[in-house]
Copies of this chain bind each other. A is one copy, B any other.
């Protein structure tokens, strides 16, 4: 029923191989013949059958994209950017949701491997060794994590976290908490490393305490409010914006005001963080750029196989209303870091 290459061939009086070449190897066919073929193809509404093409070429022109939770506001901008970038190159994207489950994550790679040219593993929680093993089954690009020997795209959260600490120290805070994320998160480790090794900490200028692990959700933030209060932090950097927002809510319930009593900084800059009250000071992650970059890497290293480049994208501190002067209340907020201003 659907038009095939054969129909086009018959209708334009050439052999099917000529039709095939008119599409996939234009320089091998006479210009005149080619336009005629393309015209009839157009007229008949012919679209090449990708399954057949994949069968013989081994390339599906599909990409798999595996995330832990589509509904987590961190991911959609990344998915959107990746999809767009892929489609510009005539690729389509399978989106799969592991539902935060490591076993599902692994199974998804198996399931997708045969029908894609490569897979984008976003924020995977699997062990390095497992990921490495999986990479023999399908070309992988890891996003938001680094795995030895595999191409990856990460955002330099360490830098952003240090900028956040600079900002807080500049505001006069001396007792800062890091509200940690889930166990096994690469990002979480990076932030913690960056924060606990910040120069101000080493000089004893400020003290940093780590709380966690916590669920990387609003509820996780709410639940942590009590611990934050008890620990006596005057400023907190949260693993992500959702937790930061939850924390603000939780503190509010305890009668602690943000930024009056405690300053809160998030990470990610999800769309939401501009809409809450107070608007959230946060480390902006270039998720869209990461999505594009990941697709780029996957498709280019399809050719020269085994590119293991590790791309790191810059992050940026966005100062809004959830951070304010520390206990002394007289510090100059602009003295450190190179924060981005925002209207």
**A residues with CB within 8 A of B:** 2, 47-52, 54-55, 60, 62, 69-71, 73, 75-77, 79-80, 83-84, 87, 92-97, 99, 110-115, 218, 245, 249, 271-272, 275-277
Q: A92 contacts which of B115, B218, B249, B271 (Cβ < 8 Å)?
A: B115
Q: How long is the Cα–Cα vector from A50 to B249 in the complex, in angstroms? A: 48
Q: Are B115 and A50 in contact (CB under 8 A)?
A: yes
Q: A2 contacts which of B2, B60, B114 (Cβ < 8 Å)?
A: B114
Which residue in chain B gives the minimum CB-CB distance to A107?
B87
Q: A277 contacts which of B48, B60, B92, B276 (Cβ < 8 Å)?
A: B276
Q: List 10 A-B contacts (CB under 8 A).
A: A51-B60, A70-B76, A70-B79, A71-B80, A73-B73, A84-B97, A92-B96, A93-B96, A94-B94, A94-B95
Q: How many copies does the complex hold?
A: 2
A82 to chain B, nearest CB (A): 10
Q: Are A52 and B50 in contact (CB under 8 A)?
A: no
Q: How long is the Cα–Cα vector from A87 to B84 in the complex, in angstroms? A: 23
Q: Are B79 and A95 in contact (CB under 8 A)?
A: yes
Which residue in chain B gives the minimum CB-CB distance to A279?
B249
- Which residues of chain B have C-beta atoms less than 8 A from A76's C-beta? 70-71, 73, 75-76
- Which residues of chain B have C-beta atoms less than 8 A from A55's C-beta? 49, 51-52, 55
A266 to chain B, nearest CB (A): 12
Q: How long is the Cα–Cα vector from A272 to B273 in the complex, in angstroms? A: 10
- Which residues of chain B have C-beta atoms less than 8 A from A277's C-beta? 276-277
Q: Are B275 and A245 in contact (CB under 8 A)?
A: yes
Q: Are B94 and A112 in contact (CB under 8 A)?
A: no
